[in-house]
Amino acid sequence: MVTVLQDIIAGVREDLDARRRTLPLEELKVRAAAAPRALDGFAALGGGRDERPDLRVIAEVKRRSPSKGELAGIADPAALAGRYAGGGASVISVLTEERRFGGSLADLDAVRAAVDIPVLRKDFTCDPYMIWEARAHGADLVLLIVAALDDGELRDYLALTHELGMDAIVETHTAGEIARAVAVGARIIGINVRNLKTLAVDRSTFAALAGNIPAGPVVIAESGVRDAGDVRHYAGHGANAVLVGEALVRDATPRERITEFRQAGAEAIAALRLGTH
């Protein structure tokens, strides 16, 4: 039986093949080399410090999803990204997958031109071409989904990402996938609490899995953030950052919501350190 992830990746590969016929890899590499140097996504998410006193927010430009359908029209992704940055987002995530999420590389270009903070190209990376493509379009981070890659691909894709000066969010869903991410030296590990088979969200998954990540990597909670209470929950169980899409694109005041989420996260982290969580 074909899983949702496999079905999405099949479409991604078809669209990728079409782009590759238009722009060969060697020409793409020239464009990537000409792009401005990547920003430090690891540092932006609090990495490299002994203490991470606050919670970082990765705010997502996301029009629709397989689980919820249409979320928001987003006629001006650059303007939305500007509001995100104004609210204190540390990274802007841009969905570029077209068939299920309604994204595009044009969205990535628009956001990159509008903000001066790191930008994540969020897609179903299944070929090195997509990493070169992300860099050519100014992305500072890419998404690597452990469930979609074998160990060799995961290691090689992560190495290429670092070779190009970028960072990768290595997304996991199980303890076994976390072990694989740690084994290849992932510096940013995401725990996605959405079940890849059913698309259901179980927020308790984060607390159950976060303890498997050793000290050092940035830990990101993905999916399931509806309000400040969810942010407190994730931060209280060890999240250094949260990735938020639906709750922000559906909010009339995303700038204020991000500020609220950051405050809620900081309070939870402070409580955790004081042992009152």
Which of 133, 171, 177, 246 is the catalytic position?
171
Which of 97, 133, 177, 222 is the catalytic position?
222
Q: Identity (one letter) of the amino acid at 17? A: D
Taking CA 19 as the corner, what is the angle to CA 15 and CA 22, rounded to the nearest 5 degrees? Answer: 145
192 a catalytic residue:
yes
Which of 65, 90, 93, 223 is the catalytic position?
223
223 a catalytic residue:
yes
67 a catalytic residue:
no
SS3 of residue 193 by DSSP: coil
Q: Is 73 exposed, middle or buried (0-12, 13-18, 19+ CB in 10 A)?
A: exposed
Q: How many CA atoms lie within 13 A of 50 on its CB side?
A: 0
Q: Is the distance from CB of 220 to CB of 185 less than 8 angstroms?
A: no
163 a catalytic residue:
no
CA 17 to chain centroid, in Å, comes to 24
* DSSP string computed for 206-269: HHHHHTTSPSSSEEEEES---SHHHHHHHHHTT-SEEEE-HHHHT-S-HHHHHHHHHHHHHHHH
How many Å apart are CA 82 and CA 67, to the nearest integer?
A: 27
Which of 60, 97, 133, 177 is the catalytic position?
60
Which of 65, 90, 97, 122 is the catalytic position?
122
222 a catalytic residue:
yes
Tokens, residue 133: 């493509």
How many Å apart are CA 1 and CA 142, to the nearest integer?
A: 28
Give the contacts of 80 (CB within 8 A, at least 6 positions apart): 61, 74, 249, 254
27 a catalytic residue:
no
User: In this structure, what DSSP letter does residue 147 have?
Assistant: G
195 a catalytic residue:
no
Q: How many CA atoms lie within 13 A of 30 on its CB side?
A: 4
Enzyme catalytic residues: 60, 62, 122, 171, 192, 222-223
